[in-house]
RNA sequence: GAUCGCUUAGCUCAGCUGGUAGAGCAACGCCCUUUUAAGGCGUGGGUCCUGGGUUCGAGCCCCAGAGCGAUCACCA
């Protein structure tokens, strides 16, 4: 391994630390008593509570002034200045702990622990006066140095997306502002989970490795089970398993599920992504719309304390209820096109006329979907339910109670993007079998997104499935919306990346 | 997949019409007991993404490739 000059120097420092009899990676716990933030916020009003504090974190800056120094210690909650004076931490003749360890051998990035007392410097900054300094873990690789001046200008920012995503640990260390996105992501999931649990719906886990990749239309990742000698697919959806659990007699089941789709990657698509799917018995899609808008409002308030959020250029109002409009009416209202009387040939001609990219493999439903995507989607900024989709593209939803050729389905659009998708679930096993057959016909016609037939799923439905409404929410996209991020990579700790060049070469050697 | 752009020190970036590599931070040495983008003096550090080509001479021009980004198209 080729080491840089600075890496060589840090390894040499490591050796010298050991020679001083100091373990650079001590095993025992460190008795942390406070977070930086607690001291910064609390010292002002209750200075007596901070006469002995013990904090730990990374050393992020050293300002040495001879026999005394200021430094900055960064922990999970933020940064605090520490004051280190020679005679307070070193008591031997040589003042080893200060002159050698602190001044020479500690580097930016090292984990240290300090004990001391909070005080205010003469410029009024709350700091910790160190009386005892402990090295907790030596860093042998230099971090990027990001500095912020008095006016808040960031200097030498660590912004290269490739490095930020590949080395997220560095990103979150030197760019602590991004931590908030992930804290909000976690909180959002907790808010949803608590919301569902209060209603006594059951959180479940269903198979990721599936013999048939059903429940959605997408190309799967394929793998192989050695002992059974069969192919298995990483799930592209979990819908058919959750419905089996509704058949089994649970009133409500939900799962936060990683899905895997072997398709393109860009700023809104990652090969693995998180969906939340929920199925509730004895409900329909109208009930589900009320549930979803209550949930989304609850999330906005839980994360931000308010319902109106700034997303990009737009201010979005998440307060329920949301506008509801059928797909046909939306195409008419937003696109000025009445498709209610059009057959497949007329729709195809209309697409061609408008230069919408279509081909002969597309059935009526798919053509309408294309028109909708082209004419309407981008205009749906405020939360809007689009309801009642063509039957052809929705093989798992129940036929509409009054409208011929439609199903009871809605999608929730916000800021021009789909956030949620829900149905009154099809529970008629004879109809369900016919729908799968129609999908097979579409597949024969060349539609590679047509859905595969799952005999065991049909068998479960034949035993009897209660009327049910089901919902899927793209968690990554919801987090993007709620944290005002425009790329999925910013809301995933470890977005999928191409292998690093260095690794590739090493693999080729093997 | 298409078009455009980027890739130079550990990090952030300059580098003119082609003439042999620069700054700030970081590092190293020295000074400094209330600094805060700490400061002062000094020092070291580079396969200029890779491989070809043109040229007396390439970080710069040409060709091919890689990685990354932006925009567009498709999937959630």
CA contacts within 13 A on the Cβ side of A497 = 18
CA-CA distance, A122 to A99, in Å (whole number)?
25
3-state class of A420 per DSSP? strand
CA/C1' separation A358–B6 (Å): 35
CA-CA distance, A247 to A369, in Å (whole number)?
31
Tell me which residues from 281 to 340 on chain A have a beta carbon below 7 angstroms from nucleic acid strand B.
none
Cβ atoms within 10 Å of A150's Cβ, excluding its own: 5
CA-CA distance, A327 to A329, in Å (whole number)?
6
More confident residue, A375 or A56: A56
CA/C1' separation A381–B58 (Å): 52
> Which tokens in the block code for residue A6?
């600075």
Tell me which residues from 198 to 237 on chain A have a beta carbon below 7 angstroms from nucleic acid strand B.
216-218
A508: CB within 7 A of chain B nucleic strand: no
pLDDT tens for each residue of A245-300: 999 999 999 999 999 988 878 888 888 899 999 999 999 999 999 999 999 999 99
> Which tokens in the block code for residue A95?
């003042």
Task: Please state whether the peptide bond connecting residue A473 to the residue before it is cis, i.e. omega within 30 degrees of 0.
Answer: no
DSSP string, A440-464: HHHHHHT-TTPPPP-HHHHHHHHT-
Mean predicted confidence (pLDDT) in A175-192: 94
CA-CA distance, A36 to A73, in Å (whole number)?
8
pLDDT tens for each residue of A20-71: 999 999 999 999 999 999 999 999 999 999 999 999 999 999 999 999 999 9
* Residues, chain A: 510
A156: confidence class by pLDDT, cuts 50, 70, 90: confident
- State CA A324 to chain mean position distance: 28
Nearest to A431 by CA among A403, A409, A400, A410: A400
- Among the listed ranges A114-118, A213-217, A283-287, which one has the minimum average pLDDT value? A213-217
More confident residue, A158 or A2: A158
Nearest nt by C1' to A270 Cα = B76
> Which tokens in the block code for residue A183?
């804290």
> Which tokens in the block code for residue A479?
């987090």
How would you classify the pairing of strands A126-137 and A78-85? parallel
Nearest nt by C1' to A106 Cα = B27
CA-CA distance, A386 to A326, in Å (whole number)?
5
Confidence check: pLDDT of A508 > 90: no
Phi, psi angle pair for A341, to nearest 5°: -95, 0
Nearest nt by C1' to A145 Cα = B11
> Secondary structure of chain A: what % helix, strand, coil (to 5)?
35, 25, 35
> Which tokens in the block code for residue A72?
């900055």
> Which tokens in the block code for residue A121?
């410097």
User: Where on strand B do bases come within 7 A of a protein Cβ?
Assistant: 1, 9-13, 24-29, 31-39, 44-45, 66-76
Provide the pLDDT for residue A510. Answer: 31
**Strand order in A202-203's β-sheet?**
A202-203, A252-260, A272-281, A468-474, A417-424, A406-414, A384-390, A323-326
Tell me which residues from 139 to 158 on chain A have a beta carbon below 7 angstroms from nucleic acid strand B.
142, 144-150, 155-158
pLDDT tens for each residue of A384-396: 999 999 988 889 9
Rg (C-alpha) for chain A, rounded Å, is: 29
Nearest to A275 by CA among A498, A439, A470, A487: A470
CA/C1' separation A485–B25 (Å): 30
- Through-space distance between the first and last CA atoms of chain A, rounded to whole angstroms: 16
Q: State chain A's mean pLDDT as an integer.
A: 91
Phi, psi angle pair for A253, to nearest 5°: -135, 145
More confident residue, A354 or A302: A302
A1: confidence class by pLDDT, cuts 50, 70, 90: low
Task: List domains and CATH numbers for chain A.
Answer: 5-143 (2.40.50.140), 179-322+382-491 (3.30.930.10)
A175: CB within 7 A of chain B nucleic strand: no
A500: confidence class by pLDDT, cuts 50, 70, 90: low
CA/C1' separation A501–B56 (Å): 36
A125: CB within 7 A of chain B nucleic strand: yes
Nearest to A265 by CA among A497, A474, A466, A91: A497
Confidence check: pLDDT of A509 > 60: no
> Which residues make beta-bridge pairs with A230?
A225
CA-CA distance, A412 to A394, in Å (whole number)?
16
A503: CB within 7 A of chain B nucleic strand: no
Nearest protein residue, CA measured to C1' of B33: A68
pLDDT tens for each residue of A325-340: 999 999 999 988 898 8
More confident residue, A458 or A153: A458
Nearest nt by C1' to A273 Cα = B76
């Amino acid at each position: 391994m080729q080491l840089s000059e600075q890496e060589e120097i840090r390894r040499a420092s490591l050796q010298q630390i050991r020679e001083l009899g100091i373990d650079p990676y001590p095993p025992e716990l460190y008795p942390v008593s406070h977070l930086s933030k607690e001291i910064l916020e609390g010292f002002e009003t209750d200075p007596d509570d901070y006469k002995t504090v013990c904090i730990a974190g990374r050393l992020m800056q050293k300002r040495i002034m001879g026999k005394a120094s200021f430094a900055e210690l960064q922990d999970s909650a933020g940064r605090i200045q520490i004051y280190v004076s020679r005679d307070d931490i070193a008591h031997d003749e040589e003042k080893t702990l200060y002159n050698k360890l602190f001044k020479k051998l500690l580097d930016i990035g090292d984990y240290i622990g300090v004990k001391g007392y909070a005080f205010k410097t003469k410029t009024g900054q709350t700091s910790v006066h160190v009386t005892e300094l402990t090295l907790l873990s030596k860093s042998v690789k230099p971090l990027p140095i990001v500095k912020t001046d008095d006016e808040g200008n960031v200097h030498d920012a660590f912004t290269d997306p490739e490095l930020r995503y590949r080395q997220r640990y560095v990103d979150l260390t030197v760019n602590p502002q991004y931590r908030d996105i992930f804290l909000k992501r976690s909180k959002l999931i907790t808010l949803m989970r608590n919301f569902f649990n209060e209603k006594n719906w059951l959180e479940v886990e269903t198979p990721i490795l599936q013999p048939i990749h059903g429940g959605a239309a997408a190309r799967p990742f394929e793998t192989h089970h050695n002992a059974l000698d069969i192919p298995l697919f990483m799930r592209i959806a979990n819908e058919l398993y959750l419905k089996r659990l509704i058949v089994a007699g649970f009133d409500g089941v939900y799962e936060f599920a990683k899905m895997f789709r072997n398709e393109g990657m860009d700023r809104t698509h990652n090969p693995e992504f998180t969906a939340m799917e929920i199925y509730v018995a004895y409900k329909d899609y109208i009930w589900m719309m009320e549930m979803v808008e209550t949930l989304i409002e609850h999330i906005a308030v839980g994360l931000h304390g308010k319902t109106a959020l700034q997303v990009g250029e737009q201010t979005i109002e998440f307060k329920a209820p949301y506008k509801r409009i059928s797909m046909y009416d939306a195409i008419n209202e937003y696109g000025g096109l009445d498709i209610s009387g059009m057959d497949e040939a007329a729709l195809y001609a209309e697409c061609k006329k408008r230069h919408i990219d279509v081909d002969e493999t597309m059935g009526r439903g798919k053509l309408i979907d294309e028109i909708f995507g082209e004419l309407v989607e981008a205009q749906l900024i405020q939360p809007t339910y689009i309801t009642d989709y063509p039957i052809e593209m929705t093989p798992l939803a129940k036929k509409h109670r009054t409208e011929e050729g439609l199903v009871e389905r809605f999608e929730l659009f916000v800021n021009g993007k789909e956030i949620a998708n829900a149905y009154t679930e099809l529970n008629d096993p004879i109809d369900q079998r016919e729908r799968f057959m129609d999908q097979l016909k579409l597949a024969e016609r060349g539609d590679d997104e047509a859905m595969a037939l799952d005999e065991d799923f049909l068998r479960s439905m034949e035993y009897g499935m209660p009327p049910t409404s089901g919902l899927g929410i793209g968690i990554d996209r919801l987090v993007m919306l709620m944290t005002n991020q425009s790329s999925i990579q910013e809301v995933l700790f470890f977005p999928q990346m191409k292998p690093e060049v260095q690794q590739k070469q090493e693999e080729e050697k093997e």
